[in-house]
Amino acid sequence: MMYRSTKEVAALLGIPVGRLKHSVWDGRVPSPRKLGGVYAWDDRDVHRASWVLRRRDAEDVLTMIQEETSHERS
């Protein structure tokens, strides 16, 4: 499973990193797992954050993630 940093997720969602961090801190976005003291976001976490912060499905974001992953495997 591939994990992303908070900075990468914020860039994918098109929002400032601070907004994403604050949304996790205040409980609007479910907290992703922590690995080594930092948040590690999987595709499901990105989807939930997108729904909460963008008020829409994250299909465009998830499509970008899948395309990135397929390029990395090639």
pLDDT, tens digit (0-9, with 9 covering 90-100), for 19-52: 999 999 999 999 999 999 999 999 899 989 988 8
- Supply the range of the domain harboring residue 44: 6-73
Report the pLDDT averaged over residues 69-73.
66
Computed on alpha carbons and rounded to an integer, the radius of gyration of the chain in Å comes to 12
**Whole-angstrom Cα distance, residue 40 to residue 25?**
15
The torsion angles phi and psi of 36, rounded to 5 degrees, stand at: 65, 30
Flag whether 15 is in a domain. Answer: yes
* Count of domains observed in the chain: 1
Contact yes or no for 48/33 (Cβ under 8 A): no
Flag whether 1 is in a domain. Answer: no
**Whole-angstrom Cα distance, residue 32 to residue 51?**
15
Q: Identity (one letter) of the amino acid at 44?
A: R
pTM above 0.85, yes or no: no
Report the pLDDT averaged over residues 14-22.
94
